Amino acid sequence: MNRILVIDDAATVRLYHRKLLGDAGWHTEEASNGVEALERLHAEAGQAPFDLYVVDVNMPKLDGYGFVRELRRLPLVHQAPVVMVSTEAQARDASAALDAGANVYLVKPARPGALVLTAALLLGAREIARTTAQGVQR
Amino acid sequence: MNTTELLDQFVTEAREGLEAIGERLLEVERNPADAALLNDLFRLVHTLKGNCGLFEFKPLERVVHAGEDLLDRVRQGKLPYGPELADALLDAMDYSAELIDRIEREQRLDTADARADALAKALRALLPDTPALDGSEQTAHAPAAAPPQEPPAWLTRIPANLATNAPAGATALRYLPEPDCFFKGEDPWRLALTAPGLLHAGVAENAPWPQDAAALADWDCYRCNLDIVLVSAAAKAELEQHFRCVPEQVEWHGLAAVPQPAAGEAPPALRERASAIWHEQLALLSRPSVAPHSVEAARRALRGLLCAAPWADSEAAMATLDALPRPLEAAALAAWASVHGPAPRTAAAVPDDSRRTEESTGGERTQRVLKVGQEKVDRLMDLIGEMVVAKNGLPYLAQRAETTFGQRELAREIKAQYGVIHRIAEDMQRAIMEVRMLPVGVVFQRFGRLVRDLSRRLGKEVQLLVEGEDTEADKNVIEALADPLIHILRNSLDHGIEQPAQRLAAGKPAHGTIRITARQEGDRVVIEIADDGAGVNAARVRAKAVERGLVPEDRAAALSDEQAVQLIFLPGFSTADTVSDLSGRGVGMDVVRTAVERVNGQVTLSSRPGLGTSLRLSLPLSMAVSNVMVIESAGRRFGVPMDLIVETVRVHGDDIHHFKQARTTVLRGRIVPLRELNDLLALDAPQRANDDGELAVLVVRLGAENVGLVVDQFHGASDIILKPLEGVLAGMTGFAGTALMGDGGVLMILNPKELL
């Protein structure tokens, strides 16, 4: 099963994203900031890496940009797709997110369909995309 | 999706957030230049607003959003932080807390809320003119005020499957009949149900139904209070025709048509989304410098897109993508992607993601925590309490094995086993107790606000200093502390600290200081509340106590000043008419004493005229299990609370001085009055001395005084669970309660304070 790591400092948002993604059939885990997420990755080195990261921008300790930059430097996990989610919608944030190496930028609060579809697309599996697309419509 | 859980999480996080915001607001008032503090505050408000966005809590969002804008300016140095600003923000946060309570209670929030609007307006009124700022700022904030094309809130009342799965061209509409429509011969419900092509009809109340009897009395049952939401497959023109008599009462919203995907073909929404992501990848690759790993991530994303939402030649495209060399130049991949991608996205396909203007931040309050209901921990506490007592039965068993059955070896083994169980039980008890421990700062938090509001109202300048807020104590103890502490603080503010002019005249700084200190001393938590006010006027306390008939005049006169001020703890010392009369403290201090003693605590007061007053609360860390010393007198056993015992000594009969009826002895250079326990308990037996002619004396602390209690014999200390006296025994003040001993016997626990 695909594993998704949800990184956000707001517990409510973490729960929201995990529920959206979890209801779509993925296994989700969470971290509350970039540092905690990186610690997770180091601790889990050797195990199957996460298949997707859903990352908030503005977080204490290490923000979303910093996390993605670090992620892209790590062996084995660096290619994982990253969805950056933030309420900052000024153009500079979208471009900063892509600059940092995120694959997609979504505005918070992410609409359920947008997040699930994006995740499905990035996970790149036709079946999952189909079932979740139907799931979203249903 | 289970929204209740999300809502619970929201409420919890919002409460924590608001509490932290309140604290920070007061801190900022003291250190307005602290940039880190301001950022922290701003981040907290941000997170709260961001979380609101997940729900339809518009009034709350409006208030918090206004506060956020205001704080943003403060943070950027465009607006000075002052008391009015703080007042407005504190009011707004107070009301937000009320709204959170309402959300928790009703699971929803009405869209219209005059109070919220007023508060948001008051906050915005403090904003400097937005248009005066530079252009970029303006555009950044303008859309936030009025998000264009936001779907109306009532859409959420349509079942989710219908909202997203409606047939092409379906229309959602909301019909709000006029309150007096019944008098116009209209039948709104019938009109709604006869609408053509009806797919769904939902009805709710427009204004909340009256909740209490008073509101019900004013309730006009002939007024229409319906709020109807319909979904229809009919053409809009047809529906408009149907509702032609009430056009102004109907709101329309076209539902996006989402046809079912044909087998084997990706649905358009998916294609659109894929197309958008494809272009984002292209944008990513077209940047001046792209890290190699980002290129690889982009390649994987593109491959995934091809796979998930195929367009015409995706199979071939995938082959060429796989054929691209590794490592790959960003430019090469970009070139490939621009050739093999879907058609450029049209304006219509652009998702509105880039339109809203908000920021996200969050509090730094995420630890790995497990939230457990308190009753579960309480149950554990009760069980371990029982176990501690039950294990005490083992030594008796060992004794019986040895004396009654002559099994010395078995007795030894039981004792060894007891040692092990004892250790584990103690560790366990400590561990469970730690779970219930909270820092006393939890209670102190609200004091900043209390002191601020009250001192402003009284026209005094008061600074509150708090130390040792990390000191921990049992949750019950801490909760019992809150009210007495508030009482004490109020007294300090009201009666202790003088008006600024008076203070200056007395040669003190204009602003008074109240200092709250908490620390652990042994197994007790000591909290001191000291002010630098006028102190307690001992003469007036004496006079008042005599006037109230609490002490005879001659005794009052004989008291030292230090003893006299303690009179304010007497019940009945103060009544309402003394509130403004007495210049020192003394308003309801017996209430404070009672509350503190209820949790086995003690309170003492010391006062220096003109220099200030200090109150010292000493409380047990935990109240579940108490430690008593077991003593024997006239062949009976009694317990004495360990925290009252100063020492145990043996005093030779010759060292006891008789002075009329009173008996005293000298211990460490101090005269200690002696009282015989048998005498106090009316047991008709003399106290027994041991073979050397020494009497056992238990020195107990009574307020500032030590008294020696003469008993027959000391036994060891024991952990017990104190049960208060019940039924006919409840009036016996000489006893604190009873405890069940390990051997099944009942131990009476003395209450020396009342006894002596």
| Closest CA relative to residue B752, chosen from B677, B695, B690 | B677
What pLDDT shows up at residue A135?
A: 58
pLDDT in tens, B698-738: 999 876 788 999 999 898 888 777 777 777 777 777 888 88
Beta carbons of A113 and B291 less than 8 Å apart: no
Contacts 24+ apart (CB under 8 A), B159-167: B159/B200, B161/A137, B161/A138, B162/B199, B162/B200, B162/B231, B163/B255, B164/A113, B164/A136, B164/A137, B164/B258, B165/A137, B165/A138, B165/B258, B166/B199, B166/B231, B166/B233, B166/B255, B166/B257, B166/B258, B167/B233, B167/B257, B167/B259
The answer to whether residue A70 scores a pLDDT higher than 60 is yes
Backbone angles phi, psi at B376, to 5 degrees: -70, -40
Beta carbons of B362 and A81 less than 8 Å apart: no
Q: State which residue of chain B sits closest to A20, comparing Cα positions.
A: B1
| A 47-76: CB under 8 A from B | 56-61, 72-73
Q: How far is CA B667 from CA B374, B647, B648, B706, in A?
A: 47, 11, 11, 10
Could you say which of B50, B283, B284 has the minimum Cβ distance to residue A10?
A: B50
Find out whether B180 and B242 touch, Cβ atoms under 8 Å: no
Beta carbons of B360 and A81 less than 8 Å apart: no
Beta carbons of B9 and A11 less than 8 Å apart: yes
What pLDDT shows up at residue B350?
A: 40
Amino acid at residue number B513: T
The answer to whether residue B515 scores a pLDDT higher than 90 is yes
CA A45 to chain B, closest CA, distance in angstroms equals 18
Please give the interface size between A and B, counted as residue pairs whose CB atoms are below 8 Å apart.
Answer: 195
Beta carbons of A138 and B165 less than 8 Å apart: yes
Cis, bond preceding B128 (omega within 30 deg of 0) = no
Tokens of B8: 């619970």
Compute chain A's Rg from CA coordinates. Answer: 14
* pLDDT cut 70: percent of chain B above it: 85
Beta carbons of A98 and B357 less than 8 Å apart: no
What pLDDT shows up at residue B711?
A: 92
Beta carbons of B300 and A123 less than 8 Å apart: no
In sequence order, the β-bridge partners of residue B606 are: B614
User: What is d(CA A118, CA B276) in angstroms, rounded to the nearest whole number?
Assistant: 10
Beta carbons of B261 and A78 less than 8 Å apart: no
Amino acid at residue number B157: R
CA A46 to chain B, closest CA, distance in angstroms equals 19
pLDDT band at A24 (very low <50, low <70, confident <90, very high): confident
Of B53-62, B415-424, B539-548, B728-737, the range with the highest mean pLDDT is B415-424
pLDDT band at A136 (very low <50, low <70, confident <90, very high): low
**Is B144 an 8 Å CB contact of chain A?**
no
**Is A35 an 8 Å CB contact of chain B?**
no
Could you say which of B164, B297, B356 has the minimum Cβ distance to residue A89?
A: B356
The answer to whether residue B164 scores a pLDDT higher than 70 is no
Beta carbons of B362 and A59 less than 8 Å apart: yes
User: What is d(CA B292, CA B590) in angstroms, rounded to the nearest whole number?
Assistant: 74
Using a CB-CB cut-off of 8 Å, the residues of chain B touching A65 are none
Task: Give B360-375 as a DSSP string.
Answer: ----S---------HH
Average pLDDT over chain B reads: 78
Tokens of B89: 């923000």
Beta carbons of A11 and B366 less than 8 Å apart: yes
Using a CB-CB cut-off of 8 Å, the residues of chain B touching A56 are 360, 362
| Cβ neighbours around B240 below 10 Å, total | 14
Using a CB-CB cut-off of 8 Å, the residues of chain A touching B280 are 98, 103-105
In sequence order, the β-bridge partners of residue B614 are: B530, B606
Find out whether B530 and B536 touch, Cβ atoms under 8 Å: no
What pLDDT shows up at residue B368?
A: 62
User: What is d(CA B25, CA B90) in angstroms, rounded to the nearest whole number?
Assistant: 8
User: What is d(CA A53, CA B540) in angstroms, rounded to the nearest whole number?
Assistant: 71
Beta carbons of A78 and B296 less than 8 Å apart: yes
pLDDT band at B683 (very low <50, low <70, confident <90, very high): confident
What pLDDT shows up at residue B529?
A: 92
β pairing state of B512-521 and B524-531: antiparallel
**Lowest model confidence (mean pLDDT) among B260-274, B326-340, B473-487, B670-684:** B260-274
Find out whether B265 and B285 touch, Cβ atoms under 8 Å: no
* pLDDT cut 90: percent of chain A above it: 9
The answer to whether residue B586 scores a pLDDT higher than 70 is no
The answer to whether residue B271 scores a pLDDT higher than 50 is yes
Tokens of B613: 């007053």
Torsion of CA B189, B195, B200, B205, to 10 degrees: -30
| Closest CA relative to residue B71, chosen from B51, B56, B93 | B93
**Is A119 an 8 Å CB contact of chain B?**
no
Could you say which of A103, A129, A137 has the minimum Cβ distance to residue B298?
A: A103
Ramachandran quadrant class, B149 (left: phi over 0; alpha: psi -120 to 50; beta: rest):
left
- Residue of B68, B255, B361 to mutate for A, most A C-beta atoms under 10 A: B361
The answer to whether residue B393 scores a pLDDT higher than 70 is yes
pLDDT band at B362 (very low <50, low <70, confident <90, very high): very low
Average pLDDT over chain A reads: 80
Beta carbons of B297 and A8 less than 8 Å apart: no
Beta carbons of A79 and B297 less than 8 Å apart: yes
For residues B155-170, average pLDDT: 68
